[in-house]
Amino acid sequence: MGLLYSELAAAMEQLESTTKRLQMQDYLVRLYLKVGPQDAANVTYLLLGTLGPKYDSPELGVADKLVLKALSIRKGISEKELNDELSKTGDIGDLVKTNLEKKQQQTLMSFGDDDEEQVAELTVAQVHADFIKMAGKKDKSSQSLKLDILNGLFQKATPLEAKYITRFITQRMRLGVKDLTLLEALAFVTPYQWDDHAPALAEDIRSLGALVPEVDINPTVKSVLGREASSLNASEEIAKNLHIALKRAGSPPPEAAEIRASIEQRSSEMRAMVKRMRGRIERAYNAYPDIGHIAHLLIIRGPDMLDDVDVTPFVPLKPMLAERLPSLDEIIEKLGRCALEYKYDGLRMQVHVNNGQVRMFSRGMEEQTGQFPDVVAAVKEQFKGSSIIADAECIPIHPETGEILPFQVISRRRGRKFGLQTEDTTVTLDETQKHTFEDDYPVALALFDCLFLGDVGGSMLDEPYLDRRAKLSEAFELDDRITLSTQIVTDDIKEAEKFFDTAISSGCEGIVAKSVGEDSTYQAGARGYNWIKYKRDYRQDLADSLDLVVMGAFWGHGRRGGVFGAYLMGSFDPETESFQTVCKLGTGFTDEMLARFTQELGEHVIEDKPDNYQVAKALEPDVWFDPVAVWEVVGAEVSFSPVHMCGFSALKPDVGLALRFPRLSRIRDDKDAYSATTTNEVIGLYGSQGKNALWQ
């Protein structure tokens, strides 16, 4: 029949009554020891207030109104009356419980016996199944279905059960039980289920108890003796009390010392076993964070089964996280030769592919597949194998320039998809709008790790980092939409500094340094020094705008086909009378502006680069212009850049300055190129923001 729901409700009531960790652990261990294999997973989910693992749990939001309706039907009290009572008491779970209790008392008084006693008792499996039937349904017609199910449950439930049914469906479980609490409790369950230390310890405790003279058993000792010692904490507490009682009784018999030594030995062995189990359970959980599944395996098949829990497509793993150090020197000192990568400021995305199906999960293991249909399509098209789990950052890119855009762009896109309030308005998109939206806010995937690859036998977690990463370039057809994170491998501090500057000026928030040694495994769920982040925090736009000269342009693609899609902008250096690049500008234009500028500037195209244009080879545009136009540009900050020529080597050898995240603000018809912002002013801007710059 399985576990009765009343047992679970009783445990929930106990858990709610305490905030002490050990006490909670004890209650949970006792509960798990009663749970059979068929209920282990469901009990676990219900304790957490979910119906399944976090990444796959259907939502169950039942409004208070529906609960009051069911209660009103059950009790024959008007909904208004119940509502008034609720506004006084405030807790709907307690309200349900008290009202059902009242009913029982009245019935007992008026009829002598209670026909409700005849109703079959609820089991955990039934309650879970009923919740599943209610979940995920949001339309109007589902209200009557939910009400029917709730009526059925209230019909059978005791007042206490009804309290926790209510708490659950209205999403107000306040037990303080977290995944970690359960992992710990499960570790404590093991010695009781799968080891003979526990019965031997219980036997020792009984023998010690038998030595305590009847008269010396004080009430505390009596109460613990009467209790089944079903957890290690409880056993140790009982043993301690017996020991005190024996001491108080005068001269304990000689065998007492022997039994006490045996108790200590057994309990310390059990503690060691619990500790080992914790490690194993945690490892399993990090690779397969479905704690219900883990509880099920542990209870049905014992600890050894945990070693078979492995990375599995469509089960998101806990992501590996980075530590931080305050300087690049310290990072190189710590890691030696290491991989340095751009730290993109986007959304962490775990990409799972299995037999042509793609699902993506966020850092918090929430499903993201629906929000990024374009990424899903690209992955489907460009993944060449059978199954993979790849770790990546999803980054907004400029549709024209391919440059990385600020993170807000991606959040705007997510918000819009959900129909949330954005800075513009509340929008719910239909299919055609969605298309435009993806075009306007395209994203790319920067892949950086491979955690599972079906074609080479599954989990990649224990492979060294560079081997894992090498698999990515074999597994995907790479292009602008699916790329590898930009990386160098070095132990040279100068090279590291240059790479950091490039990362910053390319729109990244810093770099992540990664160990490349033999032990550079993927540590799911761990924050450690195998990854070290070093970033620059910028939050605000520059207070000042820059008036920059339009030096050249790049032809647009896609929606911007046939017009200039991005422009090369420079500052003026009066000393050398030259123009020096500061940024590539592709943001802040309307379609109409793009068409107009293409026409107007088209009249000023020149064949060759003028001698006084200082431009790195890598940034040469498709067309050059005479210096006729000055535009006001705003941006996030001025940063070092190895590719831009503004103030080159002025502050740092072989490095210039760039404007990050530039946006067109307005046209400065009133200025000519020689009154544009000077290079010295840009250098000054860099210095002034330095006072406030936040380094992490």
The set of catalytic residues is: 343
Quick one: 205 or 340, whose CB is closer to ligand ATP?
340
Report if residue 290 touches ligand ATP, rule: CB under 6 A: no
Q: Which is nearer to ligand ATP, 61 or 528 (CB)?
A: 528
Tell me: does residue 318 bind ligand ATP (CB under 6 A).
no
Kindly indicate which of the ranges 103-111, 262-270, 339-347, 370-378 contains the residues binding ligand ATP, using the contact rule CB under 6 A. Answer: 339-347
Please, what is the minimum distance in Å from the beta carbon of residue 689 to ligand ATP? Answer: 21
Residues 484-523 that bind ligand ATP (CB under 6 A): 485, 512
Q: Is 387 a binder of ligand ATP (CB under 6 A)?
A: no
Cα–Cα distance measured from residue 648 to residue 655, given in angstroms and rounded to the nearest whole number: 5
How many Å apart are CA 387 and CA 365, to the nearest integer? 19
Task: Give least dist CB 394 to ligand ATP, A.
Answer: 9
**Closest approach of Cβ 536 to ligand ATP, in Å?**
11
Question: Is position 393 an interface residue for ligand ATP (rule: CB under 6 A)?
Answer: yes
Establish if 533 lies at the interface with ligand ATP (CB under 6 A). Answer: yes
How many angstroms separate the CA atoms of 412 and 514, rounded? 31
Residue with smaller CB distance to ligand ATP, 319 or 556 = 319
Interface residue with ligand ATP among 15, 28, 46, 322 (CB under 6 A) is 322
Alpha carbon separation from 677 to 70, 546, 571, 581, 684 (Å, rounded): 71, 6, 6, 12, 11
Q: How far is the CB of 49 from ligand ATP (least distance, A)?
A: 25
Q: Classify 545 in phi/psi space as left (phi over 0), alpha (psi -120 to 50) or beta.
A: beta
Q: Which is nearer to ligand ATP, 34 or 348 (CB)?
A: 348
- Closer to ligand ATP by Cβ: residue 348 or 596: 348
Q: Based on the shown chain and the rule CB under 6 A, indicate whether residue 321 belongs to the binding site for ligand ATP.
A: yes
- Distance, CA of 696 to CA of 694 (rounded, Å): 7
CB closer to ligand ATP, 28 vs 395 = 395
Rounded Cα distance, 450 and 220, in Å: 57
Radius of gyration of the chain (CA): 33
What is the per-residue DSSP string for 213-263?
-GGG--HHHHHHHHS---SHHHHHHHHHHHHHHHHHTSS--THHHHHHHHH
Q: Which is nearer to ligand ATP, 280 or 348 (CB)?
A: 348
By CB under 6 A, residue 341 contacts ligand ATP: yes
Cβ nearer to ligand ATP, comparing 293 with 535: 535
| Binding residue for ligand ATP, selected from 54, 348, 414, 596, defined by CB under 6 A | 348
Asked if 532 interacts with ligand ATP (CB under 6 A), we say no
* Residue 132 in the binding site for ligand ATP (CB under 6 A): no
Of the listed pieces 19-27, 86-94, 337-345, 662-670, which binds ligand ATP according to CB under 6 A?
337-345
The DSSP bridge partners found for residue 343 are 510
The 3-state DSSP composition of the chain as helix, strand, coil percent (nearest 5) reads: 50, 20, 30
Answer whether 441's CB lies under 8 Å from 394's CB: no
Outline where 603-695 has alpha helix (H). Answer: 679-692
- The span of 156-164, 318-326, 456-464, 648-656 binding ligand ATP (CB under 6 A) equals 318-326
Give the CA distances from residue 675 to residues 230, 575, 576, 670, in Å, rounded to whole numbers and listed in that order.
83, 13, 14, 10
**What single-letter amino acid sits at 642?**
P
| Alpha carbon separation from 608 to 551, 553, 563, 618 (Å, rounded) | 12, 13, 20, 16
Residue located via tokens 């705003």 = 634
| Residue 363 near ligand ATP by CB under 6 A | yes
Site string for ligand ATP, 451-490 (x = CB under 6 A): ----------------------------------x-----
User: What is the rounded (10 degree) CA torsion for 421, 425, 426, 429?
Assistant: -120
Select the residue interacting with ligand ATP from 285, 288, 344, 441 (CB under 6 A): 344
Instruction: For residues 96 and 69, give the distance between their C-alpha atoms in angstroms, rounded to a whole number.
Output: 11
- 503 or 549: whose CB is closer to ligand ATP? 503
Q: Which listed range, 25-33, 240-248, 307-315, 343-351, lies at the site for ligand ATP (CB under 6 A)?
A: 343-351
Q: Token pair for residue 82? A: 């119940």
**Burial zone of 567 (CB within 10 Å; 0-12 exposed, 13-18 middle, 19+ buried):** buried
The reply on whether position 343 binds ligand ATP by CB under 6 A is yes
Contacts of 586 (CB under 8 A, 6+ apart): 398, 400, 401, 403, 565, 566, 567
524: contact with ligand ATP by CB under 6 A: no
- Site for ligand ATP (CB under 6 A): how many residues? 14
Q: How many CA atoms lie within 13 A of 143 on its CB side?
A: 9
Least distance to ligand ATP from the beta carbon of 382, Å?
19
Residues in the site for ligand ATP, rule: CB under 6 A?
Answer: 319, 321-322, 341-344, 348, 363, 393, 448, 485, 512, 533
